[in-house]
Structure 1
Amino acid sequence: MGLEFKRHRRLRRNAAMRSLVRENHVRVEDFIYPIFVIEGENIKNEISSMPGIYQYSLDRLTEEMDEVASLGIQSVLLFGIPVEKDECGTGAFHDHGIVQEATRLIKEKYPNILVVADTCLCEYTSHGHCGMIEGDQVLNDPSLKLLTDTAISQAKAGADIIAPSNMMDGFVAAIRQGLDEAGFAHIPIMSYSVKYASAFYGPFRDAAESTPQFGDRKTYQMDPANRLEAFREAESDVEEGADFLIVKPGMPYLDIVRDVRNEFNVPVVTYNVSGEYSMVKAASANGWVDEKSVVMEMLTGMKRAGADLIITYHAKDAARWLNEK
């Protein structure tokens, strides 16, 4: 009598068999592609720490959007870089701010692409923090009014989804109430609900020109060592009216993505952040990894962990690879 054991390899025998039993799939429709729009004219600035990612002025934004549309990417996330900054981030909630104008342009020329508006103040404040300050303190409650004003102005401009990323306590409740009272009860909120004070954000600060002028963001973004705190943050946001929950960053926090997916019955989004993108690009440029294989494995891992959607700078490359099939 021969040995008795299970034949798991039967389902791995060839590519067709592996495809047949594959449990998780990455689709172009899963991607939300971040775009940086900057005030000025004839600007296409490559971000030195993020090869292949650019700041675009409005008059050149269609170059990027034409490519996004041709690849079948259905959602973009807008970040703005203003010419002028002040203490309270006026450019964030100005009706003719850079994100508002970019939103109008995209919705006019690409009406079927969803515009997700990042709702924060850090790119617009002279101090680089995500709220009002007093001395060296970031004030929570006074910041909520400015964030709500920003969300309303973005919705007026045509944003399909409001994505507040500031991590102030009560920001979802304040924005939900403000949107509802302004006639935008139909606009969903994609909350940066579980946002860690991560070292992986470094290249983004080059792109968005949003480095804090003093201190750091550890008093309002989460401690990377904490897991249970993520449940408290997510639970509060769901109770306050969040329609999507974002976990940020992606790869170092896939355990949190799974926790959130298991606990809450709303779409879960993970943000494959700038540092993750830049590390892959650097390793690929040095010939240390195969970029396509690594990126697709990373994105598949995010889906396997429970992400319904992925915000990623790899979106255009990944869409090309998926469209090749």
Structure 2
Amino acid sequence: MTVLTDAPATSDKRDVPPSMVERMTLILDAFDGRAARLTLEEVACRSRLPRSTVHRILDSLVKLNWVEHASFGYRLGRRALGIGGDGGHAEVREAAAPLLHELHLQTGMVVHLSVLDGHEIVYLDKVGGRLASSIPSRVGGRIPAQSSACGKAMLAWLDPERVDALFEGNLGRSTERTIDDLGILHLELNRIRQRRGLAFEREESARGVACVGSAVRGPEGPVAAVSLCGDSRTVQLERVAPLVVDATREIARTLYPELGTPRRAVPPAPVVPADTWSPEARSRLLSVQSGGWI
């Protein structure tokens, strides 16, 4: 009987380091730059480790955000890029800064810039002058992604399977109006895609606060999001929504000038079959909508 062994990816023999730390280091060293994009076979070849070992360790690194996995293969994740001290977001903040201030001057509302980190968003910037203290958010703070306009705007441009993996059936809540059902979340994300990326929320992230958000979309998906927030009793989100869209498109042009117009640069929306939701999920959606969701 032939016994299959875990053979190295290349004919060049090399002892597999016994230390997991050494093996992880070899794999991370295979990525020779921030923009490096490698297939599983390329990582195995460069690290000279067995393919199955590389696959197993990459799976763990993806779960811990050291590496990201997409259709093209693998690239360094936020944790690896953040070792330098800026979390890998310095370019995004620099590109967005003047537009955030312009949005605040145009509307008088509080403006947020955030990024997706697992099933949460992290606020990178907040502009609002004296009004900023009226909204309980802070730079570096985190909230469940599905509770915010920014978070929903970014989640809408991920594959549904990736959204499932991010939450793993466990959705945290910020208020009693936060979406806490994965099926309802998918329906909400589908509505956002139908609105070409505009996401709304009323008192889902904080009581008395309403927001409209849009994602900054790069060639491989959402990289950040911008939102305008105000008093849920008086703010007219539909009137300021176009300003948010214009701002995120301008940020995308600044970050990816080589890709031309955003329409050509961004990936298509994930396809979500219309008949994937159970009658129970639909009933829950309708009951929540009656409470004032947009």
Fold shared, TM-score > 0.5 on shorter chain: no
Shorter-chain TM-score: what band? Answer: under 0.3
Relative contact order higher in (CA < 8 Å, ≥ 6 apart): 1
